[in-house]
Chains A and B, each alone.
Chain A
Amino acid sequence: MSELESPQGEREMSEPGTAWATARPPTVGGPLLEVEDLSVRFRTEDGAVLAVDEVSFTVADREVLALVGESGCGKSVTAMALTRLLPSNALITGSVRLGERSLLELPEAGLRDVRGRDVAYVFQEPMTSLNPVLTVGKQLGEVLRRHQALRGKTADRRATELLELVGIPLPAQRLKEYPHQLSGGMRQRVMIAMAVACQPRLLVADEPTTALDVTVQAGILDVLRDLRTEIGTAVLLITHDLGVVADLADRVVVMYAGRTIEEAGTEALFARHSHPYTRGLLEAVPDPERRAGGIREIPGRVPTLRSSPDECTFADRCGRADSLCRARRPELLLGPAGHPVRCVHPLPLPEVSR
Chain B
Amino acid sequence: MTPALEVVDLVKHFGAVRAVDGVTLTVDTGEVVGLVGESGSGKSTLGRCVTRLEQLTDGTVRINGNDISRLARRRLRPLRRDFNIVFQDPASSLNPRMAVAEIVGEPLRLHRIGSRAERARRVDTVLDQVGLRPEVGRRYPHELSGGQRQRVSLARALSAGPSLLVADEPTSALDVSVQAAVLNLIGRLQSELGFACLFITHDLAAVEFLAQRVAVMYLGQLVEVADRASLFRAPRHPYTQALLSAAPVPDPARQRSRRRIVLSGEVPSPVSPPSGCRFHPRCPVATEVCAQEVPELRPVGPAGELVACHLVADDGTGPRLAEAV
From DSSP, what is the main secondary structure of chain A's interface residues?
helix
Are A214 and B249 touching (Cβ within 8 A)?
Answer: no
From A218, A242, A298, B260 is in contact (CB under 8 Å) with A218
- Stretch of B3-11, B113-121, B200-208 that contacts chain A: B200-208
Interface size in chain A (residues, C-beta < 8 A): 45
Are B255 and A247 touching (Cβ within 8 A)?
Answer: yes
Are A296 and B175 touching (Cβ within 8 A)?
Answer: no
Are A243 and B209 touching (Cβ within 8 A)?
Answer: no
C-alpha spacing A246/B204, complex, angstroms: 17
Contacts of B180 in A (CB 8 A): 283-286, 295-298
Are A280 and B256 touching (Cβ within 8 A)?
Answer: no
C-alpha spacing A169/B262, complex, angstroms: 14
Also in contact, A4 and B209, with CB within 8 A (given A284-B176, A294-B187, A298-B180):
no
Also in contact, A243 and B187, with CB within 8 A (given A185-B266, A285-B205, A298-B177):
no
Interface size in chain B (residues, C-beta < 8 A): 44
From B147, B175, B247, B250, A214 is in contact (CB under 8 Å) with B247
- Nearest Cβ in chain A — how far from B41, in angstroms? 9
Give per-residue flags for A1-28: 1 if the beta carbon is below 8 A from chain B beta carbons, else 0: 0011000000000000000000000000
Are A295 and B184 touching (Cβ within 8 A)?
Answer: yes
From A70, A183, A294, B267 is in contact (CB under 8 Å) with A183
Are B247 and A285 touching (Cβ within 8 A)?
Answer: no
Are B256 and A247 touching (Cβ within 8 A)?
Answer: yes
Contacts of A298 in B (CB 8 A): 177, 180
Interface residues of B in 223-270 (CB under 8 A from A): 228, 232, 242-243, 245-256, 260, 262-263, 265-267
With contacts A4-B256, A214-B204, A246-B250 known, what are 18 further pairs, Cβ within 8 A? A70-B176, A71-B175, A185-B266, A214-B38, A215-B38, A218-B246, A218-B260, A241-B248, A246-B251, A247-B255, A266-B252, A270-B251, A286-B208, A287-B205, A288-B228, A288-B232, A294-B187, A297-B181
Contacts from B to A (Cβ < 8 Å) = 38-39, 145, 147, 175-181, 183-184, 187-188, 202, 204-206, 208-210, 228, 232, 242-243, 245-256, 260, 262-263, 265-267
